[in-house]
Amino acid sequence: MMDELTMVQRIAVWILPVIFAITVHEVAHGWVAKKYGDNTAAAQGRLTLNPVKHIDWLGTIIIPGLLLLTGTGFIFGWAKPVPVDARNFKKPLHDMAIVALAGPISNVLMAIGWALLARIGVTIGASAENVSLPLIYTGIAGISINLVLALINLLPIPPLDGSRVLTGILPHRLAWQYNKLERYGFIILLILLYTQVLNAILAYPMYFAQNLFFSIAGLN
Report DSSP state, residue 58.
Answer: I
Name residue 211's amino acid: N
Name the DSSP class of 83: P
Indicate whether 28 belongs to any domain.
yes
Does 92 fall in a domain? yes
Residue 159, preceding bond cis, omega within 30 degrees? yes
The span from the CA of 93 to the CA of 11, in Å, is 39
180 in a structural domain: no
Region 82-110 average pLDDT: 95
Residues 132-179 have pLDDT tens digits of: 999 999 999 999 999 999 999 999 999 899 999 999 888 888 888 898
Q: How confident is the model at residue 3 (pLDDT cuts 50, 70, 90)?
A: low
Which residues are known catalytic residues?
26
Asked if residue 59 is part of any domain, the answer here is: yes
- Rounded to an integer, what is the distance from CA 157 to the centroid of its chain? 15
Q: Does any domain span residue 211? A: yes
- Percentage of residues of the chain with pLDDT beyond 90: 59
First to last CA, the chain: 12
At residue 55, the pLDDT reads 84
Domain enclosing residue 67, as ranges: 2-154+199-216
Q: What's the pLDDT score for residue 70?
A: 73
Q: Is residue 146 part of a domain?
A: yes
Instruction: Kindly report the length of the chain.
Output: 220
User: Could you tell me the pTM of the whole model?
Assistant: 0.90
Tally of domains within the chain: 1
Torsion angles phi and psi, residue 160, rounded to 5: -60, 160
Residue 167 lies in a domain: no
Question: Residue 74 in 3-state DSSP?
Answer: coil
Residue 5 is predicted with a pLDDT of 76
- Report the C-alpha gap between 31 and 99 in whole angstroms: 8
The answer to whether position 129 is within a domain reads yes
Q: pLDDT exceeding 70 applies to what percent of the chain?
A: 97
- Rounded to whole angstroms, the Cα distance separating 30 from 48 reads 10
- Non-local (6+) Cβ contacts of 106 within 8 A are 24, 25, 27, 28
Note the pLDDT tens digit of each residue in 56-84: 888 788 878 787 777 666 677 788 889 99
